[in-house]
Amino acid sequence: MNTLFNTTIDNPQIDFPTDYSAIVNRIERIQPLQYAKTRNYIHGAVTYLSPYISRGVISVKQVRDSVMNKGYKAEQIEKFLQELAWREYYQRIWQAKDDLIWQDLKQPQPDILHRAMISAAANAATGITALDKQIESLFNTGYMHNHARMYLSSVVCNIGKAHWQLPSKWMYYYLLDGDIASNNCSWQWVSGAFASKKYYCNQENINKYCNSVQRHTFLDSPYETIPHLPVPDALKKTLIPDLQTTLPKTALPDLDISRPTLIYNSYNLDPGWRKNENVNRVLLLEPSHFKNYPVSEKVVSFIIDLAKNIEGILLYCGEISSLKNLYKTSALAESEAFVSKEHPAFRHYPGIKDSREWMYPEVTGFYPSFFGYWKKAQKSRGRLLDQ
């Protein structure tokens, strides 16, 4: 399971500046060797770049190139490169599977009792102190360390025996780095729906990586006994979370319909995209999209603040159809009037679709395992080096 990263910042206080220069500075401070050694620890030398990658402000290729330009050999920092590649791998799955990303990808999740959210997890009251602190951090900051996400998924799906789908949607709601592909596939990986076996944690492992000393919890057992434990009382109560998105009210933007309009969205906030072109620029937040993929007010605010790095951008909370109507009297054909970046969540956009920036553009399609994908990516990288 993977979601990109935590931080190299000395102060473990979690913060996510939205100014582009601060984001670039964070890229410059990556320590890939330390990352490989400490990434599983809650305060390890990871990067806090995931919100900016998820929102399309920066790309995994940009991050990779920045690190490689410092003189590292790929073999030295393979673990770091693999973690970048995990995100790209999940994006390729979403491209290939489309809405099936919401279904069990490899096999039906085994041993489920219900399709609800476990109340104790939703209320940061599991009784596992380190985990509850991480859930509270999710509410307060919009972020949870990747290892803690694995712990939470394991507790909810494998100890509490909930199906992954609704808990995944619940977590996505709060995440600043919310990415359907990474989030859904990761929950499936933990729960055994996209892996050959389930991922289990125990209290000893949590204590090691979270710097805690708790004992006598429902996870305080050897690994070999954990899968056979009954559902603890603390995890028996369930709920259906009320996940609603509140978008700002905005007027229809005043566009120059003699020029094309670049459509930005919650997954494309790249300030360098077609930067010098004479176009309209609109951040489009469609109510229909957020009805299907609801997010919190904190996430909406983060998206809007990130868009402020894009000069001249206009915010419109409405449907693409309303923008299309503006061009009815334009000399531009619909196929010329709109430009966006390719993305599975926005296949319905009209017009030109630019490619996203990939680390391994030649490696496309569905791979049933990451390491099958990674082998292909390494061959692709080798061909590029030979050119």
- Beta strand 117-118 pairing with 238-239: antiparallel
| C-alpha–C-alpha distance, residues 92 and 373, integer Å | 10
| C-alpha–C-alpha distance, residues 268 and 343, integer Å | 9
Specify the pLDDT at position 382: 60
Same domain for 365 and 305: no
Mean pLDDT throughout 201-221?
97
Give tens-digit pLDDT for 82-115: 999 999 999 999 999 999 999 999 999 999 999 9
The reply to whether 336 falls in a domain is: yes
Q: What is the DSSP letter of 98?
A: G
| C-alpha–C-alpha distance, residues 383 and 145, integer Å | 35
The reply to whether 62 falls in a domain is: yes
Q: How many independent structural domains does the chain possess?
A: 3
Same domain for 137 and 200: yes
Range with lowest mean pLDDT among 209-218, 222-231, 293-302, 377-386: 377-386
Specify the pLDDT at position 387: 36
Is the whole-model pTM more than 0.85? yes
Which residues does 111 contact at the CB level (< 8 Å), separation at least 6?
Answer: 161
Same domain for 128 and 88: no
Domain boundary among 239, 270, 288: 239
Same domain for 227 and 136: yes
The reply to whether 381 falls in a domain is: yes
Cα-to-chain-centroid distance, residue 220 = 30
The reply to whether 107 falls in a domain is: no
Q: What is the CATH number of the domain that holds 124?
A: 1.10.579.10
Domain boundary among 239, 272, 294: 239
Domain boundary among 172, 204, 239: 239
The reply to whether 151 falls in a domain is: yes
* One-letter amino acid for residue 334 of the chain: E
Domain holding 206, by residue range, is 117-239
Contact 299, 246 (CB under 8 A): no
The reply to whether 249 falls in a domain is: no
Angle of helix 297-307 relative to helix 165-174, nearest 10 degrees, comes to 50
Same domain for 125 and 81: no
Mean pLDDT throughout 237-261?
97
Same domain for 122 and 137: yes
Give tens-digit pLDDT for 20-62: 999 999 999 999 999 999 999 999 998 999 999 999 999 999 9
Same domain for 63 and 17: yes
The reply to whether 348 falls in a domain is: yes
Contact 130, 214 (CB under 8 A): yes
Q: What is the CATH number of the domain that holds 366?
A: 1.25.40
The reply to whether 6 falls in a domain is: yes
